[in-house]
Amino acid sequence: MFRIVKKQELSDMVTLFEIEAKTIARKAKAGNFFVLRINEQGERIPLTIADFDTLRGTITTVFQKVGKTTHHLGMLNEGDYISDVIGPLGAPSHIENFGKIVCVGGGVGIAPVFPIARALREAGNKVISIIGARSKDLIFWEDNMRSVSDELIVVTDDGSYGKKAVVTVPLDEILREQKDVARVIAIGPAIMMKFVCVTTEKHNVKTIVSLNSIMVDATGMCGACRVEVGGETKFACVDGPEFDGHKVDFALLMSRQRMYPEEEKLSFERFKKIAGVQ
């Protein structure tokens, strides 16, 4: 059993948990993820490790309430327990001094970009960060991101905060003006990562994306998370989650993410009835 030691509502739909998991915190690295299962009936879902504190023995995650499991998770409070927490999983980010880096975080993708930006900065890189979301209330961790970036750009789709733009607009500007960007790291919804890759491909800048496919065991055993990278099938859980974005088949990723529309709806409707969620 793993205790939730801190809960913070970052917006109506986005929640932060700090979970006590001493051994995972000790081993976690930027780019890792973990899997949790709320209770005996629960499914195993992968979530990003947004931060980790070796001294307190905690890991931090940020999730958006979209379906049954994430809504259920969002109803848990500080002091509550989660049945299973498994990690750290996935290969950590490749960190070295590349020179100049642009980190792009979209929506809840801002959270996992943070430790990567921090590690890259600590390795001596100049870090420019772009964070974006649909609207103001979905932007979080602006201060955190500012603290690990040499420059931070905030955008919203509707212009309710920062610049009114999608993340690819400032990204395109930067890549046009600054020819010394060594690589781009992008984490967010699949559609955002796809357009980031379209943009960076024009400028021929290597781009790393972190793929959030459906997983079950997340240790390579089941293959639920398979993605195509450079025409080859890869398992996001053990071969990734980070891949060269220019080689990723995003259409397939998005199609596979939508494998269970009816089941997800059924499960969520049932949960809403039981839990009295609006």
Dihedral of the CA atoms 21, 59, 13, 148 (nearest 10)? 180
Q: Which residues bind another protein (CB under 8 A)?
A: 23-24, 27, 37, 41-44, 68-69, 83-89, 216-217, 219-224, 226-228, 233, 235, 238, 252, 255-256, 258-260, 263-264, 266-267, 270
Residue number with CB closer to another protein (5 or 222): 222
6: CB partners within 8 A, 6+ apart: 16, 17, 18, 58, 78
State in angstroms the smallest separation of the CB of 15 from another protein: 18
Residue number with CB closer to another protein (147 or 233): 233
Residue number with CB closer to another protein (172 or 217): 217
State in angstroms the smallest separation of the CB of 59 from another protein: 12
State in angstroms the smallest separation of the CB of 274 from another protein: 10
**What is the C-alpha separation between 151 and 127, in angstroms, rounded?**
7
State in angstroms the smallest separation of the CB of 242 from another protein: 16
Residue number with CB closer to another protein (37 or 94): 37
Six-digit token string for 130 = 């772009």
> Phi, psi (5° rounding) for residue 252?
-65, -45
15: CB partners within 8 A, 6+ apart: 7, 8, 9, 62, 63, 65, 73, 74
CB atoms within 10 A of CB 214: 16
Six-digit token string for 193 = 């990562």
State in angstroms the smallest separation of the CB of 269 from another protein: 9
Residue number with CB closer to another protein (157 or 217): 217
31 burial level (CB within 10 Å; 0-12, 13-18, 19+) = buried
